[in-house]
Amino acid sequence: MGMLAPFLKYVCEGKVIRRFSDLQRFSFPEVTERIYLSFLALAVMSQLKDYKAFTKLYADQTMHYGTFDRVRMTYNDLANMLAIVSGDPEITKKLKNKNEAQAMRQRQPLPVMAVRRYLRSFEDHYSNLSMLERSLNIKDANYRNLRRAVANYGKLDSRTRKHVLAKMNQHLKSKLPNTDIQRKFKEING
């Protein structure tokens, strides 16, 4: 079936968190894990010629309002999740673990300017993803190994690339099902 509105080729909207009522389904660590996973997927796609346009558009839509101050229906998933960890502190009161979330948010501030810089350039993947890993308090060794592989994706052999893509697809399917990033990432063949 042909597309009736070709200008809508890359419309991205929130599927995970669209409004405040969706927040109560998630804890703060679940949100930070999904943010990190989104950045890992975008980092891989930014290194692939056929997916650079999607990555750029998604990053631009993420930064559309300038700051990540609140959850908006018109935000994409990444922007809404970034609003939880760096926007209005009142947002954390809507999460599943509100008391713990407020304490965690104070202990691990997200460097918004560095995140915005990375979204604009998608350069120096290793240091930017490492910074995100620390600031989001990601401790999972599987994600650490994925970060190393994603940062050096262009230098990996085809077998290792396929393994990285399979792992990423598995994580995206379980943590970010039916999101714009997950659907686009699923198209990558390796």
Domain total for the chain? 1
Calculate the average pLDDT of the chain. Answer: 87
* Containing structural domain, residue 85: 14-184
Question: Quick check: is 107 in a domain?
Answer: yes
Put simply, whether the predicted model's pTM sits higher than 0.85 gets the answer yes
Question: Quick check: is 3 in a domain?
Answer: no
Query: What's the token pair of residue 139?
Result: 């401790």
Q: Which residues contact 164 (CB under 8 A, 6 or more apart)?
A: 44, 146, 149, 150, 153, 156
Question: Quick check: is 132 in a domain?
Answer: yes
Question: Quick check: is 4 in a domain?
Answer: no
CA distance 80 to 137: 19
CA distance 35 to 50: 23
Calculate mean pLDDT across residues 96-111. Answer: 86
Q: How far apart are the first and last CA of the chain?
A: 26
10 Å Cβ neighbour count for 120? 12
Question: Quick check: is 9 in a domain?
Answer: no
- Reported confidence tier of residue 23, pLDDT bands at 50, 70, 90: confident
